[in-house]
Structure 1
Amino acid sequence: MALAYSDVTIVVDERDDLFYTRAALRAHRPEEGRITVQPTPANNSPTALAHDMLYALGKRLAPGPNSPDVWLDSVNAAWLAAAAWGVATGVRHVVVPRAHLLTIRRIDQLLAWREMTGAQLTLLWQKAPRGLPPALARVERRISGRDQFEALLAEPGPIPARPSFPPALPAKTGPAAVTVVPRQSPAARQPQETRSASMRPGQRAHPCTGAMATAQLVQAAPAIEIASEEAAALAALAHPLAAGALSVLAFTRAGLGSLRFTRDLDITGDVSTVKIHGIGHRYCPLYPVPAWARPLLAGARAHHRLTTHPPADSVFAPVMLAEARHLRAHAGRLPRLDLTLPVGILVP
């Protein structure tokens, strides 16, 4: 069997036994890294299955013809978003009932998504197997029978169930630590690292280190608390870059000019801390990432890495340029967070 199909299983249910569908629906446990994706019947949109995947991942696309999620009507954008959320939330097993109703193109999309995420894929083929398309006919792992299917759902997947987001380490104490205290003047609260980057006219800017290195010297500024309802609304946003950018703005109230320069290396490996950059890197504070925001920032970073950007590239630049109007529209749908003014400067 080809390596590309080593984690793909066909469950043959020629009689369309209701048991298999019910078992698949019961298996939907995102907290355990297993989701069940139900294809929307008779939806001919090229992005329909990607949207079904996003829905299974807990994301909700904004409705309407002028929706801020209209950029997810692009097939590549929608599947990339689904892959980023799958990676960020640790999906290890995806079960798709009624796969025999999918077109060859959508089956190819599912297989490509599996390649990007490394997750296990189980397709319920609820008709005679002689109709399998060529891509699935090469899959050697086929099962039939209730016991086999239940055992399959109990198997561990090829990747961990959910990334661990441990609490941030205590800030370093001692003479090397610099405490960032709110309401001080900018000059007083600049970390030592970024004060040294202050420039004379014509002087080249000093390169700014990433969050991990800075965290060894600088204590993080306090994050702003938001209500659970607003956190849930941000968590439901479908596009990882929009969700990540708005979440950072919500708990830091940083300016968009600062967020524009946030790089992959400005997010610690455990997504516990993010670094925001000031003009000329004169003031680049650290912020602890609240628990509710860590999966969202992880989704933005996964999206960045799946598009093969290097660590020194800006994570949020794409959503602040070509797709800025969509970010602004999402901010307007979250009035209690009061993000419309800072985001509004992106669009005339």
Structure 2
Amino acid sequence: MAAASYGDVTVVVDEQDDLFYTRAALEAHCPAEGRITVHPTPASSSPAALAHDLLYALGKRLAPGPGSPDVWLDSVAAAWLAAAAWAQATGVRHVVVPRAHLLTLQRIDRLLAWRAATGVQLTLLWQRTAKKLPPALSQVERRLSGQGQFMALLAEPGPMPARPSFPPVSLMPPKPDPKAVVFAGQSSVRLPQDARSTSTAADRQARPCAGAMATAHLSHAAPAVHVAPENAAILSALAHPLIAGALSVLAFTRVSLGSLRSTRDLDIIGDVSVIKIHATTHRSCTVYAVPDWARPLLAAARAHHRLEGHPSGSGVLAPVMRSAAQHLRAHAERILWLELTVAANVLVS
């Protein structure tokens, strides 16, 4: 066995297909420590199969059957984008892929591009002669040998993910200038008298509603509605970040479905502990505490939004309520305890 590193990619050449290395890779799987082992589906012709394998390793489950609400993840770009968003949101730092020699050149290229987008460390078990390495994997600089060195490689924490989207909870965000926070008529939060007196009708029309960071300083967050652990687990297993994010917000706030259309990136506080939900006229916008189980789901929705290059003032969940509304509706109808069937039917297909 020999191993070689090229940037943050390590190729472990196990020409003898020693069971030790496969077993060690399987035992290394520990999402809580930011390390996952991905099993490529054998003999799959689906272009998005490897991205689906990544989602599965991250604990996500695609809905089965014909007409599945997850059919849009059959698209290669959509599946890899979802996998990148979940990896960033959940703090994945090291990905191990056994039997990488069975991957096509196209899937290897996709995997390397995904690694570049997420910033993770990638270790590939190449269980074939090194002479068969494709050009993308043959440019290596450092060689290792021995079982001990392989175990040490698995024990390394790995680099911090690129553009992390789910930072630890902070004690308190920096205090903003109260006069620049929000204006009368745009939120349920009341400002000091001197700030309100300077507000004009023109200000109310021209200035956008303040984001969650500013509003959270002026109002206590509404408590989240309790969601049973088994129900939270159902939502956490949803594969698409926007679907998981949208339905989780509906579960712990019980707001109307249409209220999510205006939720922007800046309405989700940096540590994903608070979210602001807008009213139609912005006169009764409310900030909600985000329960621990829902924070990774909202972080993934925000990461998805950012990976697509959207500005912070645009709607994070808006795409799933427009072009992909039928998928959101289908999932809502499957999860009966959400009691969203009637509300979901107002979404256009």
The answer as to 2:82 corresponding to 1:81 is yes
Q: How far is 1:200 from its partner?
A: 7.2
Q: Deviations over 1:239-289 (max 9, x none)?
A: 000000000011111122221100000001110000001112111100000
CA contact (8 A) 1:69 1:326 kept: yes
The farther-off stretch of 146-155 and 77-86 is 146-155
Partner of 1:64: 65
From 156, 166, 169, give the equivalent of 2:169: 166
Partner of 1:278: 279
Partner of 2:182: none
What is the percentage of aligned positions where both structures have the same residue? Answer: 67
TM-score (norm 2): 0.88
Structure 2 distance, partners of 1:262, 1:5, is 41
The farther-off stretch of 55-64 and 133-142 is 133-142
Q: How far is 1:112 from its partner?
A: 0.5
CA contact (8 A) 1:242 1:327 kept: yes
TM-score (norm 1): 0.88
> Could you say if the C-alpha distance between residues 205 and 346 of structure 1 is closer, same or farther in structure 2, counting changes exceeding 3 Å?
farther
Structure 1 distance, partners of 2:95, 2:152, is 15
CA contact (8 A) 1:250 1:339 kept: no
CA contact (8 A) 1:166 1:272 kept: yes
SS in 1 for 2:88: helix
CA contact (8 A) 1:33 1:89 kept: yes
Structure 2 distance, partners of 1:310, 1:141, is 40
SS in 1 for 2:23: helix
SS in 2 for 1:122: strand
> Could you say if the C-alpha distance between residues 305 and 5 of structure 1 is closer, same or farther in structure 2, counting changes exceeding 3 Å?
farther
Partner of 1:146: 147
Structure 2 distance, partners of 1:328, 1:139, is 48
The answer as to 2:30 corresponding to 1:29 is yes
Partner of 2:189: 191
CA contact (8 A) 1:33 1:162 kept: no
The answer as to 2:9 corresponding to 1:8 is yes
The answer as to 2:120 corresponding to 1:128 is no
1:296-315 aligned at under 5 Å gives the runs 296-315=297-316
Amino acid at match of 1:192: R
> Could you say if the C-alpha distance between residues 162 and 205 of structure 1 is closer, same or farther in structure 2, counting changes exceeding 3 Å?
closer
1:1-348 aligned at under 5 Å gives the runs 5-159=6-160, 163-166=166-169, 190-192=188-190, 204=205, 206-347=207-348
Amino acid at match of 2:219: V
SS in 1 for 2:262: coil
Q: How far is 1:344 from its partner?
A: 2.0
Aligned residue pairs: how many? 329
CA contact (8 A) 2:165 2:303 kept: no
> Could you say if the C-alpha distance between residues 100 and 142 of structure 1 is closer, same or farther in structure 2, counting changes exceeding 3 Å?
farther
> Could you say if the C-alpha distance between residues 230 and 257 of structure 1 is closer, same or farther in structure 2, counting changes exceeding 3 Å?
same
Q: How far is 1:142 from its partner?
A: 4.1
Q: How far is 1:105 from its partner?
A: 0.4
Structure 2 distance, partners of 1:142, 1:263, is 47
Structure 2 distance, partners of 1:168, 1:285, is 21
Structure 2 distance, partners of 1:258, 1:136, is 48
SS in 1 for 2:12: strand
Q: Deviations over 1:298-331 (max 9, x none)?
A: 0000101111111101000110000000000011
Q: What runs of 5+ residues in structure 1 fail to find an aligned partner?
A: 177-186
Structure 2 distance, partners of 1:238, 1:138, is 34
SS in 1 for 2:10: strand
RMSD: 2.7
Q: What runs of 5+ residues in structure 2 fail to find an aligned partner?
A: 180-184
SS in 2 for 1:192: coil
